[in-house]
Amino acid sequence: MNKFLKYIALGVILIACVFYLYVKYSAAEDGEVAPDFEATLVNGESFKLSNLQGKYVLLDFWGSWCPPCRKENPKLVALHKKYGDRLTIVTVALEKDERHWKKASEKDGFVWKNQIVQQNRFVMLSSIAQKYGVSEIPAKFLISPDGKLIGKRSFKQVDSLLSVAR
């Protein structure tokens, strides 16, 4: 029986590794058209990423349960205040329980319209996160006004790029 449990554990680990590699290497790469997706915003409206062309888009994956995400949220709010005329922020909350998202987003000052909650028992199985190769959060992706993926960027990199782009 003990040997059987070791094989099961090894099989689970192997499956997890294969899934991780699949997500990481099947995602879109910098310079390609950003993977499009449709979702429902928290206010009930339909959303399609490709409809946002014309401005930079910062796609932010986070979770109310994630301390590093919550620590970075004030920087996200500051970017929104500084570049709201040229930058559209889209947040995708990866949650096990949707109720926790609302309290966290209100506390952290999320005032933008484009907020999506993807609820799943295994949060990294979000279909949107998989398209972008998200295997850990927080994760931010900058998309150019013409819909091309600039890539995973830090707040400092986004601020630098937007401060010179006009």
Q: How far apart are the C-alpha atoms of 52 and 25, rounded to whole Å?
A: 26
Of the pLDDT bands very low, low, confident and very high (cuts 50, 70, 90), residue 121 is confident
Predicted confidence (pLDDT) at residue 17 exceeds the cutoff of 60: no
Of residues 3 and 73, which shows the higher confidence score? 73
Specify the pLDDT at position 161. 86
Question: Which residues are 88's β-sheet partners?
Answer: 57
Backbone angles phi, psi at 29, to 5 degrees: -110, 160
What is the per-residue burial (b if ≥16 Cβ within 10 Å, else e) of 68-103? Answer: ebbebbebbbebbeebeeebbbbbbbbbeeeeebbe
